[in-house]
Chains A and B, each alone.
Chain A
Amino acid sequence: MIELDGVTKFFGNYPAITDITFRVEKGEAVGFLGPNGAGKSTTMKIITAFIPPTSGNCTVAGYNVVTHSLDVRRHIGYLPETVPLYTDMSVKDYLAFMGKIRGMSQQRIRARIPEVIETCRLQEYYNSYVSKLSKGFRQRVGIAQCILHEPDVLVLDEPTIGIDPIQVVETRNLIRGLGGDHTLIVSTHILPEVSMICERVVIIHEGQIVAVDKPENLATRLRGVERVEIDVRGPTKEVMATLKDVEGVQAVERKRTPAGEDFNTYEIETVRGSDLRPQLAAAVVKGGWNLVRLQSMGMSLEEIFLRLTTTEDQPAAVAPATTT
């Protein structure tokens, strides 16, 4: 549905993005992750045919964004970073106007407005002026205009920025609900958001793609090791020695003592791709100790993100838990 091939954009002599290449299939929800200034918005502006790329090709629904810009724009619903609303219009008038300039017929506009108002839960604000709405509701109006004309592709640039936590949750749910029918690209620098909304993550840093994968695959791919956390009630030294002896275990570390003597949380690193939980449990039981908790730890997106975007000479900040 969306294809970027070697897309580069220069602002003056400064490259905002370099050689961005990725594909988004129809119906897929892709998260666009990167720190501020990484080039997320620039990429989105190119996809939505707002600015042309300096070089490279970008097609949406089979149309080139430069040569068939109007066709591209017909297929896209776009929510820019600063929600673009006319403050002197009512919600209803604003949506009607947006429908008109997207070439919707009067009947279709009349039928669709109540639907999007309901989807975005804006019923009480139907006739309010946009200038009277709070940030969260403005965001919803922004999303409403985005889905009004039922576009194939939705491009949302940091849709949850600057709204209160409850509204963030609501907005995320709303976006997740949209996922099924639309091809979705969401940019954000809030990491958990991506794993909540998206099936695939594109991590971008300093204008370049550093990783593209499913959130869970990224973790395994990056780590080279699996990590297991285990809570055991038993003499520390012996427990550690026993755990180390289990085949496949690379390192054992005592992390903390939740309650009293001889009750510890251990972090165990094992060979990549292996699941040693049964063996570990067996070893603990065989030693006659109490196994309280046993959990396989995924790598959080934060860690992945930091690891991918931090340079090699400062690994200390990246992975403090790696001891062999």
Chain B
Amino acid sequence: MKNTFAIAWKELKIYFTTPTAFVVGAMFLIYAGITFVLSITGRNPEASVRSFILPASTFFILISPLLTMRLLAEEQKLGTLELLLTSPVRDWEVVVGKYLASLVILIFTISLTLYYVVMLYVFGNPDSGPVLSAYLGLILYGAAALAVGLLASSLTANQIVAAVMGTGTLLVLSFIDLVGTRLEGTAADIVNSISMRTHFPDFTRGVVDTSHIVYFVSMIAVFLFLTIRSVETRRWR
């Protein structure tokens, strides 16, 4: 576990010494800012976070793989993976350490929007339940997206390839429910339950359904497991 934190800490430092964390944070604020302002102005202004959390999920489909693309691909490119894997560190410690670092950046980015919530409470009267559940949902969504991105990063030494693979996979996983509309019966159910989009909107309505939580947590677990396996196979290739 000590190794995990050492690796996570190192990655966090790099996120902040390179401008990555700041650029992602700034871009997210612009995007979330626009959707937030649109929701509190106009004909039917709403004192809720739903209106910017929902589109924010799309932002994380595109941005999560960019946060994770460096984590394992660069190690392979620089040859430092060889060093990590010949140090007394277990493969899962490497993967989980890196994942934790990206998760911290995700939560940091999302937390930048907390002042919107403060404004909502100052100028309006929002429901606290949906606010909390919406943030929980967005963090779970982003966390799952990061796990997908990390797997993509483990598969190649090329960061661009990793990012494209990650984003592509996430787009498919998010919008596969559209395919469900053309199917019937069990097939439609299966496709719908795979889709990330099916499991997300309930959170923004204030519904915390265990099945949705299980979906996202198991998605994180599966993709991290695959990443660990993928790192292990680096030894054999």
A interface, CB within 8 angstroms of B: 45, 48-52, 70-71, 73-74, 76, 78, 80-89, 93, 97-98, 100-103, 145
User: How many Å from the CB of A8 to the closest CB on chain B?
Assistant: 15
- The residue that B85 contacts in the complex, of A50, A74, A86, A97, with Cβ under 8 A, is A50
Known: A76-B86, A102-B88. A97 touches B78 (CB 8 A): no
Known: A50-B235, A52-B235, A86-B14. A103 touches B88 (CB 8 A): yes
Known: A101-B3, A101-B6. A84 touches B83 (CB 8 A): yes
When distances are taken between beta carbons in the complex, the residues of chain A under 8 Å from B6 are 97, 100-101
CB nearest to A49 among chain B residues: B86
Mark out the residues of chain B between 1 and 50 whose CB falls within 8 Å of any chain A CB in the assembled complex: 2-3, 6-7, 10, 13-14, 17-18
Known: A82-B79, A101-B7, A103-B88. A88 touches B235 (CB 8 A): no
CB nearest to A157 among chain B residues: B82
Q: Are A74 and B88 in contact (CB under 8 A)?
A: yes
The reply on B181 being an interface residue by CB < 8 A is no
Q: Are A73 and B82 in contact (CB under 8 A)?
A: no
Q: Are A89 and B13 in contact (CB under 8 A)?
A: yes
Expressed in whole angstroms, the Cα–Cα distance for A78 and B85 within the complex equals 11
B interface, CB within 8 angstroms of A: 2-3, 6-7, 10, 13-14, 17-18, 78-90, 235-236
Q: Can you list 16 A-B contacts with CB-CB less than 8 angstroms, sorted by A residue number? A: A45-B82, A50-B85, A50-B86, A52-B236, A73-B86, A73-B88, A78-B83, A83-B79, A85-B78, A85-B80, A86-B14, A87-B78, A89-B14, A97-B10, A102-B88, A103-B88
When distances are taken between beta carbons in the complex, the residues of chain A under 8 Å from B17 are 88-89
User: How many Å from the CB of B206 to the closest CB on chain A?
Assistant: 42
Expressed in whole angstroms, the Cα–Cα distance for A83 and B83 within the complex equals 9
Q: Are B80 and A93 in contact (CB under 8 A)?
A: no
User: How many Å from the CB of A126 to the closest CB on chain B?
Assistant: 16
CB nearest to A146 among chain B residues: B83
Contacts between chains A and B (CB distance < 8 A), count: 72
Expressed in whole angstroms, the Cα–Cα distance for A49 and B3 within the complex equals 18
When distances are taken between beta carbons in the complex, the residues of chain B under 8 Å from A74 are 88
When distances are taken between beta carbons in the complex, the residues of chain B under 8 Å from A82 are 78-79
Expressed in whole angstroms, the Cα–Cα distance for A108 and B236 within the complex equals 34
Q: Are B10 and A89 in contact (CB under 8 A)?
A: yes
User: How many Å from the CB of A182 to the closest CB on chain B?
Assistant: 16
CB nearest to A70 among chain B residues: B88
Q: Are A84 and B80 in contact (CB under 8 A)?
A: yes
When distances are taken between beta carbons in the complex, the residues of chain A under 8 Å from B82 are 45, 50, 78, 80, 84
When distances are taken between beta carbons in the complex, the residues of chain A under 8 Å from B18 are 88
Expressed in whole angstroms, the Cα–Cα distance for A71 and B87 within the complex equals 10
Known: A51-B236, A86-B78. A102 touches B83 (CB 8 A): no
- The residue that A101 contacts in the complex, of B13, B78, B79, B87, with Cβ under 8 A, is B87
CB nearest to A51 among chain B residues: B235
When distances are taken between beta carbons in the complex, the residues of chain B under 8 Å from A103 are 2-3, 88
Expressed in whole angstroms, the Cα–Cα distance for A168 and B2 within the complex equals 37
- The residue that A84 contacts in the complex, of B10, B79, B88, with Cβ under 8 A, is B79
When distances are taken between beta carbons in the complex, the residues of chain B under 8 Å from A81 are 79
